[in-house]
Amino acid sequence: MYFQKPADALTATGNSDVASGVAQLGGSRSGSAADVQPTTLPPLPPSRYPTTAGSDFASAPPPPQPRYLPPPSGSDFASGAQPAPPRYSAAPGGAPFTSAPAAVAPPVTTTGYDTQSKPGEPGYVPPADKRQNQYKPVDPKYIQLPARSEIFTVYNDAQLERSTVDRLYGDFIKGKEDTLRVKKDDLEKKKAALKDADPDKIKSLKDEVARDEAEIALQEKTLNDLKAVKDPTADQSFRFPPLPVVGPPASAYQPKTVTYAPRKLIVEPGFVAHRKLYLEERNAERAGWDFGPMQTLVSAAYFWKGTLTIPQSFASGFVYGHWDTSAGKCLPGSPSPYYLYPPGLTVTGTVAEGVLITGAGFIFK
């Protein structure tokens, strides 16, 4: 159904006596739109919440215009291919106008390569410079393992304390050496700058060099004294605090586990050792393979093959043992491929098999 409704009308206009008429609320189907009389509404009361001081809805400014602009001429929306729904101005007496939202371009997907700086842009690093950025070397003391004797040795309290103090004291001396090396490098730089210094600054630079030399000499003497120390625990800062006294001296330790009832721990391996199975068919009996009606012939072939090689397998047991194990095999019923196991021939078993067949040939000729 199609109808029109002016902005200042209360009802829609339309021909209600035809099939496309409009059934209006409170109206008659047989009447026409001309019979409907407009009703004058009373003026609105003053607003309880005025937008400005002393104003009401009647004197309030009109709302802003919509953000959407009409489509450009020649577009699909302007040509009527896809008409937009009508919109009406909120201002009193405004004329209706048609508008459509502006077309929005789809977002552009960027990759990590696209976001990198290109040649000539700030932040660009040539590939040759990237290859030169090698990892900084790490001090071996942070990545090397201790000596084997230190790994597999259980220290008592005194040995552990001594080992810890020696390590800390060695790191302390190394820190002093690094500081002294830096001061010597700075002194050499000041001496080199003294040659090209201005005459007004030569005296102050000479005083700095003299003070640095005296300080370096004092630090060298202190470092030599530290290296000569045989017992670092003489210094209070390298001494562990005393252990708290938990009982009277010379008292015997009473373990609580002595009064516990004895317990038994059974340790079982993850495999089973059993006597050798000479006529075993692993694919059918262990993995569950079944060839249907042909399984009878396959099992018979495995049986006669095992029967003929029993002397070979039995004689091999005197060298390798008359036992077998489930280690390395799939559990019974596990889905596994159809394996073709080697016959497992040995020199001892082959000789015994040959002697038995040859002897049987002479006996039962």
Q: 303 and 232, same structural domain?
A: no
CB 38 within 8 A of CB 9: yes
Instruction: With respect to residue 226, please indicate whether it lies within any of the assigned structural domains.
Output: yes
**Mean pLDDT throughout 39-64?**
58
The answer to whether 187 touches 209, Cβ cutoff 8 Å, is: yes
Residues 222, 152 within the same domain: yes
In this structure, the answer to whether residues 180 and 231 fall within a common structural domain is yes
Query: Within 13 Å of residue 365, how many CA atoms lie on the same side as its CB?
Result: 5
Look at residue 52 and tell me whether its pLDDT is greater than 80.
Answer: no
Q: Are residues 219 and 278 in the same domain?
A: no
**For the chain, what is the mean pLDDT?**
76
pLDDT value of position 236 = 81
- Predicted pLDDT of residue 257: 79
Compute the average pLDDT of residues 49-72.
Answer: 58
Q: What 3-state DSSP class applies to 34?
A: helix
Q: Do residue 295 and residue 225 come from a single domain? A: no
| Whole-number CA gyration radius for the chain | 51
Instruction: Tell me the mean pLDDT in the region 250-263.
Output: 79
In percent, the amount of the chain with pLDDT more than 70 equals 67
User: Tokens 């006294």 sit at which residue?
Assistant: 245
| Percent of the chain with pLDDT strictly greater than 90 | 13
Contacts 24+ apart (CB under 8 A), 10-19: 10/38, 10/39, 11/36
Model confidence band, residue 79 (pLDDT cutoffs 50, 70, 90): low
- The whole-number pLDDT of residue 284 equals 92
Instruction: Work out the number of other CB atoms within 10 angstroms of the CB of residue 37.
Output: 7
pLDDT tens for each residue of 8-50 = 666 666 554 444 444 444 444 444 555 556 667 667 665 555 5
CB atoms within 10 A of CB 316: 22
223 and 152 in a common domain: yes
- Its domain, for residue 312, covers 273-363
Does the residue 20 lie in any domain? no
Q: Quick one: pLDDT at residue 105?
A: 61
Q: Note the pLDDT of residue 295.
A: 93
* pLDDT the model gives residue 109: 60
Assigned domain for 112 exists? no
Q: What confidence category does residue 303 fall into, taking pLDDT thresholds of 50, 70 and 90?
A: very high
Domain tally for the chain? 2
CB atoms within 10 A of CB 16: 19
**Claim to verify: residue 289 and residue 359 sit in the same structural domain:** yes
Farthest-apart Cα atoms in the chain, separation? 137
pLDDT above 50 (res 330):
yes
Q: Does residue 316 sit within a domain?
A: yes
Predicted confidence (pLDDT) at residue 224 exceeds the cutoff of 70: yes
Q: Are residues 155 and 216 in the same domain?
A: yes
The most confident of 57-71, 117-131, 287-301, by mean pLDDT: 287-301
Residues 278 and 233 in one domain: no
The predicted structure's pLDDT at residue 163? 84
Q: pLDDT tens for residues 105-155?
A: 666 666 666 777 788 787 787 777 666 666 778 888 778 887 777 777 778
Give 206's contacts (C-beta < 8 A, 6+ positions apart): 194
> How confident is the model at residue 189, as a pLDDT?
87
- Boundary (domain end) residue, out of 238, 255, 288: 238
206 and 285 both lie in a single domain: no
Structural domain contains residue 19: no
Q: Is residue 350 part of a domain?
A: yes
Is residue 335, in this structure, part of any structural domain at all? Answer: yes
Cα–Cα distance list, 69 to 92, 101, 206 (Å): 20, 7, 80
Report the distance separating Cα 45 and Cα 113, nearest Å: 65
Nearest CA to 14 among 38, 1, 95, 25?
Answer: 1
pLDDT category of residue 291 using cuts at 50, 70 and 90: very high
Residue 21 lies in a domain: no
Would you place residue 196 in the very low, low, confident or very high pLDDT band (cuts 50, 70, 90)?
confident
pLDDT at 97 over 50: no
pLDDT at 282 over 50: yes
